[in-house]
A and B are shown apart, each in its own frame.
Chain A
Amino acid sequence: MKSVGASLPKYDGIGHVTGTTVYVDDVPTPNGTLWAKALRSPAHRANIKRIDYTKAAALPGVHAIVTHEDIPVNTYGHLSGLGVPADEPLLAESELRYLGQPIALVVAESEAIAAEAVAAITLELEELEPLFDIRKAWDPGAPQIHQWGNWYTQFEGGLDRRQIRKGDVDAAFDRADLIVEGVYRPQAIEHVPMETQVCLVVPEPSGKLVIHSCTQAMYFSMGVVAAHLQLPLNKLKFVGGTVGGGFGGKVDTATETLCAVAARKARRPVKWRWTREEEFLVSSTRAPWHVEIADAVSKDGWILGRKMLTLHDSGAYARFSPYGLTKHSFHHTGAYTIPNLRFDGYVVFSNRVPTTAMRGFGVTSVSYSTEIHLQRIAHELKIDPYEIRLKNANRIGDTTGNGVVITDPSTVSTIQMVAEAAGDELKGDYRTMTSAMRTGDLLPEHLVGQLGNPEDH
């Protein structure tokens, strides 16, 4: 326990400050390494009418063109291991659902030749109307853009949404002095790691593939590559753990699988590094969200009930979005206790790049929306924004939307620290308030009978 509380030097810092850390792009490429470039969809939504690779394949220096036909299992989902059906092809077959979706991977003796070959591929499309605004996914006449419909339908029990029901919402709304409504739309964010996606795959004579990867999730990526290629794990050797920034954007397996297929097809080492443009245009982003909140509140600032509708923009395919929405749903009351809840969340498809994890996956959208909403409530009731937060703050013994009894909440102390840092004086009892179980005035009528026993958890 020597390290607890101690300030230790960063374990890999010495390499970083001397330029000796070896990132994937720094790994020496073996002789004969080929370079990859992708043919990507130039349209947001289209059907492929015709592709002609003849000219590209005939260019001197081009060694292989990988298409969906080369991939043993082309459609394998990021959550397939958990039994969630897959929806995304590794390389597009006949439909294109986002700008930049990969269709083929060309490997050649240099990046320049590979790029020239990509430009020499003939691609004929029938363009279709794309869907970008997830709130419009339900509109009659909205383009139907996904084989499951415009939103994900594979939650447990055949549900097409993540739902939470607690208490008696209708009674809370009947009893309310005021209903406060708001719509919040946190936007997409690109992770922008300073190291773009990059991968080097070196086939060994034994048939084993050595995969130099910048993934944030080594074993996960190994499983994904093995599933697509239908190889046992002992044929894959992942070398990684040095990541030039990820922030969630390197959880999806972006380059490893296609490089591995290409290396097997060409029987040569293959390296693929994305340009900064590719990173911005086609790498996954944090999702945009559409959040509608209606709160039943009392004049003195208690939140009696909440109805909430969340739409999570998944982009063209599901990837990890159902997981992100699930986390979002668990946090949909923010750091506060509301006993009567009706939450419905949908993972909605659009013709954007598939979205993914980013620092606080699914949760920042909730914090953003609920905190602004609390501010709005305080404004409408003309009460102190600190007071409304401290009143409704999670306390020991409070129960969350899905029935977890809270044993060690930090909302109260956090808000007190925020007030102090902002130089704002808290009123009366709020200055000395703790997270102890609610009693007296701070056990309001709407929470009577709602407390759990922290000892049981």
Chain B
Amino acid sequence: MRITVNGTAHELASAPLTPLLHVLREELHITSPKAGCQQGSCGTCTVIVDGEARRSCLLPVAAVDGAHITTLEGIGTPDALSPLQAAFLEKAAAQCGFCTPGFVTAATALLAENATPSRGEIREALSGHYCRCTGYVKILEAVEAVAGRAL
């Protein structure tokens, strides 16, 4: 099996039914996707698979053989933040930060699809992502701040 993560192709050694989350974290040492629940209910493990936000904890890696995957590391770097990352920083939408990889990847996928989502559409896209720190308002504000701007 082979996947491309953040532009780099990897031949995988993991067994086909290994969750993508484990392949990313344990085999490839890409640690931004987090294991918040490993049951598909919290959203911390979200990555972008061929343009679509997916929960990597329940996704057998065989199901994404050949896919292009983007994790938070691939969206921007400390020296070159994406506008959405910059907005999360500026609006204090990341407190402990554990949920942030899931929110930023999901919102990035949303904005790529729909550059001008309404607040309702943002909420819909981020529903099922849990954040225990921020109370969500700042997260919504950060996404709204870049809606309608180039990513």
Contacts and interface: CB of A to CB of B under 8 A. Distances in A.
Interface in B129-148: 130-133
Interface stretch (A21-29, A158-166, A321-329): A21-29
Contacts of A457: none
Nearest to B92: A10
A320 interface: no
A17 B132 contact: no
A195 B101 CA distance: 13
Main secondary structure of the interface of B (DSSP, over half): loop
**Band of interface residues on A:** 20 to 34
A14 interface: yes
B73 interface: yes
A358 to B, nearest CB: 11
Contact of A193 (B75, B86, B132): B132
A275 B130 CA distance: 16
Contacts of B31: 19, 22-23, 25-26
A147 interface: no
A357 to B, nearest CB: 15
A191 B96 CA distance: 14
B111 interface: no
B104 A17 contact: yes
Contacts of A423: none
B94 A276 contact: no
Interface in A1-54: 9-10, 12-23, 25-26, 28
A194 B89 contact: no
Given A16-B94, A16-B100, A18-B72, A23 B34 contact: yes
Contacts of A13: 88-89, 92, 94, 97
Contacts of A243: 96
B60 interface: no
Contacts of B44: 194
Interface string A47-82: 000000000000000000000000000000000000
B98 A18 contact: no
A276 B38 contact: yes
Contact of B96 (A19, A245, A273): A245
Contacts of A245: 96, 98, 132-133
Contacts of A191: 132
B38 A194 contact: no
Nearest to B73: A19
A9 B104 CA distance: 18
Contact of A194 (B29, B42, B72, B77): B42
Contacts of B130: 192, 194
A19 B101 contact: yes
Interface string A230-251: 0000000000000111110000
Interface in A267-299: 273, 275-276
Contacts of B86: 17
**Band of interface residues on B:** 35 or more
Contacts of A246: 96
Contacts of A194: 34, 36, 42, 44, 96, 98-99, 130-132
A192 B130 CA distance: 10
B36 A14 contact: no
Contacts of B56: none
A21 B88 CA distance: 15
Interface in B62-121: 71-73, 75-78, 81, 85-86, 88-90, 92, 94-101, 104
B17 interface: no
Interface in B3-52: 25, 29, 31-32, 34-39, 42, 44
A305 B89 CA distance: 50
Contacts of B90: 9
Contact of A195 (B36, B81, B85): B36
Nearest to B30: A19
Given A17-B104, A19-B73, A25-B35, A244 B98 contact: yes
Given A195-B36, A245-B133, A276-B38, A17 B89 contact: yes
A195 B104 contact: no
A85 to B, nearest CB: 34
A102 B66 CA distance: 44
Q: Which 8 A-B pairs have the closest CB atoms?
A: A19-B32, A16-B97, A244-B98, A19-B72, A16-B94, A26-B31, A194-B98, A276-B37
Given A19-B101, A193-B96, 12 more contacts: A9-B89, A10-B92, A10-B94, A13-B92, A13-B94, A17-B89, A18-B73, A18-B78, A194-B132, A246-B96, A273-B35, A276-B42
Interface of A: 9-10, 12-23, 25-26, 28, 191-196, 243-247, 273, 275-276
29 contacts: A9-B89, A13-B97, A14-B89, A16-B88, A17-B72, A17-B88, A17-B89, A17-B94, A17-B104, A18-B72, A18-B75, A18-B76, A18-B81, A19-B31, A19-B32, A20-B32, A21-B97, A25-B31, A26-B25, A26-B31, A194-B34, A194-B96, A194-B98, A194-B99, A244-B97, A245-B96, A246-B96, A247-B132, A276-B38
